[in-house]
Amino acid sequence: MRDRVKKIFAKAQKELDALVFVNSVEPHLDQTFFYVTDVASGLFEGCAAVAFPDGKVEVFTSELEAESARTAPDVKVNVFTTRDDENSQLKRLLGNSKRIGLNFHEITYESFLSVKKGFPSTEWEDVTEAVRKTRSIKDAKEIERLRIAGRIGTKVAEEIPSMLKTGMTELELAAEMEYRMNIHGAAGRSFGTIVAFGAHGAEPHFTPTGTKLEKGTTMVCDFGALYQRYCSDITRSYAFGKPSAEAKAIHDKVEEAQQAALATIGAGVAAKEPHLAAQKVIDASPWKGRFIHGLGHSIGLAVHDGFSLNGRNEELLEEGMCVTVEPGIYVPGLGGVRIEDDILVTKKGYEFLTTAPRGYLEVGR
């Protein structure tokens, strides 16, 4: 983990004495805490990780998760009894620090006020961008976890057609998908599972309801598996029975758009280019303007892990980045289609981390 810490310091805009990553309460946990410690389990609410320029890391935790903290490789564990005790220990360790880096993007204001109380003369530097850039390039250990998370998502996507039954609800299908993820080795879901039948598919972030599945219905299933804190994110769209001819044509066009986007991907390519390639395909179709979101996003410890593949992002893709590629078409009143895969950016192109079939599929006829 020392290499990860050193890279954050190297990307910081100013010279720093230390970095402090502070957790509040779930969901306000800084995933960079887990990035620099690689602690395998635990919640670590109210805990902090302190990192130094030489790569050393110390964790401040309550007794509740001290044993979990001790499983972290090459990390010194400090146990506190109260929040005041934690702040006192932090002050003893960092009291002479002139400039400390904080991840402003993740720390809550309450936590910031608590931490800075004992450091009246310390300058606090925002290292959000240094953290983002460092975490965007995955190391070998991270890539392996993402591959496994992707394989779990792939297995479930392949099994969804066999789960479908007339009359089942969106909530029932979502529950079955999450159960299968756990059966295949996931520790849980990486975000709230999306199952959208029929017209609901026109809402990209739809929340499942008691709506029942009927013949001739299309559906969007967007879900992700959590494996050793790393996320997958995969979407497949299906037809239950024979839907309208337009529904199939939309699916074919989205698949074409994804292929166009993938053809542009490789190290050194601007992040906007894959999005623009997909948008060009869709805007040349009858559904111009119905691709209503960015093409994708980086993925890692968080499902949205730092940057987006959209039509404005000039940032260059680099080897080791893991991103989603997820074009979609959304037609209010009719439904939608989204096809999403996780990929690893390589020197010459990309590697799929999710491999379930992407083509149009009618099931339950």
pLDDT at 306 exceeding the cut of 90: no
pLDDT confidence of residue 68: 95
Rounded to the nearest 10 degrees, what angle do helices 272-283 and 245-262 cross at? 150
pLDDT reported for residue 117: 87
Residue type, 111: S
CA gap 353, 299 in Å, rounded: 11
The whole-model pTM stands at 0.95
pLDDT in tens, 53-77: 999 999 999 999 999 999 998 999 9
What does the pLDDT average to over 101-117? 94
Q: What is the pLDDT of residue 365?
A: 60
What's the average model confidence in pLDDT over 329-335?
96
Tokens of 136: 């965007």
Whether 50 contacts 76, CB under 8 Å: no
Calculate the average pLDDT of the chain: 96
Q: In percent, how much of the chain has pLDDT > 90?
A: 95
- 138/330 Cα distance (integer angstroms): 32
Half-sphere exposure of 153 toward its Cβ, with a 13 Å CA cutoff?
Answer: 32
- Report the residue count for the chain: 365
Q: What is the mean pLDDT of residues 10-39?
A: 96
User: How far, in Å, are 18, 39, 48, 194, 351 from residue 364 at the CA level?
Assistant: 58, 44, 51, 20, 32
How buried is 253 (Cβ within 10 angstroms: 0-12 exposed, 13-18 middle, 19+ buried)? buried
pLDDT value for 60: 97
Measure the CA–CA gap between 217 and 235, rounded to whole angstroms: 17
Q: Each residue of 133-145: pLDDT tens digit?
A: 999 999 999 999 9
Tell how strand 99-102 and strand 123-126 pair up: parallel
Cα(336)–Cα(201) distance, integer angstroms = 4
* Pairing of the two strands 322-325 and 341-345: antiparallel
Across 278-296, average pLDDT: 98
Question: Which amino acid is residue 268, in one-letter code?
Answer: G
Q: Which of 241, 242, 244, 222 is nearest to 231 (CA)?
A: 222
Tokens (6 digits) for 169: 């609800």
pLDDT at 95: 86
**Per-residue model confidence (pLDDT) at position 40:** 86
Amino acid code (one letter) for 229? R
Contact between 194 and 223 (Cβ < 8 Å): yes
Does 1 score more than 90 pLDDT?
A: no
Please report the domains of the chain, with CATH numbers, ordered by start residue. 2-135 (3.40.350.10), 140-363 (3.90.230.10)
User: Quick check: 43 pLDDT over 90?
Assistant: yes
CA–CA dist 294, 267 (Å, integer): 19
Token pair for 351: 């590697």
Across 152-163, average pLDDT: 97
% helix, strand, coil for the chain, step of 5: 35, 25, 40
CA distances from 204 to 45, 52, 158, 228, 238 (A): 31, 42, 21, 27, 15
pLDDT for residue 364 is more than 90: no
Q: Which amino acid is at 56?
A: K
- pLDDT for residue 190 is more than 70: yes
At residue 216, the pLDDT reads 94
Report the distance separating Cα 257 and Cα 337, nearest Å. Answer: 12
**DSSP character for 201?**
G
Between these two residues, 365 and 131, which has the higher pLDDT value? 131
C-alpha–C-alpha distance, residues 359 and 254, integer Å = 10
Structure-token pair, residue 8: 């954050």
